[in-house]
Homo-oligomer: A and B are copies of this chain.
Amino acid sequence: MVDDRKLAVLRAIVEDYVSTNEPVGSKALVERHNLGVSPATIRNDMAVLEEQGYIAQPHTSAGRVPTDKGYRLFVDRLSQVKPLSSAERKAIETFLAGAVDIDDVVMRTVRLLAQLTRQVAVVQYPTLTNSTVRHVELVPLSERRLMFVLITNTGRVEQRVVELHETVDEARVAHLRAMLNSSLDGCGLTSVPDKVVDLPARLAAEDRPLAATILSVLLESLVDRHDEKIVFAGAANLAGADFTVGLRDVLEALEEQVVLMRLLGETSDLSALTVRIGSENPYTGLQGTSIVAAGYGSGDKQLARLGVLGPTRMDYPVTMGAVRAVARYVSQILAAS
């Protein structure tokens, strides 16, 4: 039914279409790839492939174009992830190694990925969920205002200003700081609420309102940040590509954190590459675009995801190689810091 040659034809169509951006006809196919058969034979194969929904023609008397289903088969069975050249690997490594803090890591990563793939790169900040508390700091700003800073083991810093209902002095702040740190140090962020719940009870009565105020801000900040931060770069790379769907929709989607979140999707397996092709992705308005994403993390825990977004007509092997490589290097960097 779907014999080897037909698969070869599909592969050839995908490759040619990706590189030329024009519907590919039977004659051009036999010329560019040495398939050893005549155009007429190819035409028969194409007719079958079309009937099965792997390819389509924009109009009669035009060449064939892969459908989403065709790309899917290509990605799943006909292509191999293309590793980067050693020069590229080297470049990635040195570029990422220069990062000074977590913001810098994310910024560099997203730019790197955009440049490498010549597409739009999307990187999610390392989630707080799997992080642990490294340190809690309370800084008096004025008599009635404190800045509360939470530092995690992934190098992320959360800060909030706390408005107080009473005045505080340095001694009380120091006491509270010590209490907080001793109960929270090394504790996973998800278990922070449990840990602090009985904290006011362990304090002198006059300190309890103060502690309660601070804790409520602390808890609130943990909930707030559940909408993980996401950044993108390389929007300029969209300008060249012509989408079937409007460019505007794509740009709008990129500025919606929530949409980006869902696009990157989720996988339990850290090293797995997720590919969403055209209509497979959950967001209408992004038909005609594909997403290649991977998780990254330090050690065995997945911290977050990153990926690229581009036209369905993209070079999947190369893109997948780049995404996988960058994900790995970011994981390394984060594990080391």
Contacts and interface: CB of A to CB of B under 8 A. Distances in A.
Contacts of A134: 139, 141, 147
Nearest to A100: B160
Contacts of A251: 235-236, 238-239
Contact of A239 (B137, B240, B247): B247
Contact of A155 (B161, B236, B238): B161
Oligomeric state, in copies = 2
Contacts of A137: 137, 139, 149
Nearest to A221: B100
Contacts of A212: none
Contacts of A88: none
A22 interface: no
Contacts of A266: none
Contacts of A161: 100-101, 155, 337
B160 A101 contact: yes
A104 to B, nearest CB: 9
Nearest to A236: B251
A131 to B, nearest CB: 13
A202 B315 CA distance: 61
A28 interface: no
Nearest to A147: B151
A101 B255 CA distance: 20
Contacts of A100: 160-161, 221, 224
19 contacts: A100-B161, A100-B224, A101-B160, A134-B141, A135-B147, A137-B137, A137-B149, A139-B151, A149-B149, A151-B159, A161-B337, A234-B255, A235-B251, A235-B254, A236-B248, A236-B255, A239-B247, A239-B251, A240-B248
Given A235-B235, A236-B251, A240-B248, 12 more contacts: A100-B160, A100-B161, A100-B221, A100-B224, A101-B160, A137-B139, A149-B149, A149-B157, A155-B159, A161-B337, A235-B254, A236-B252
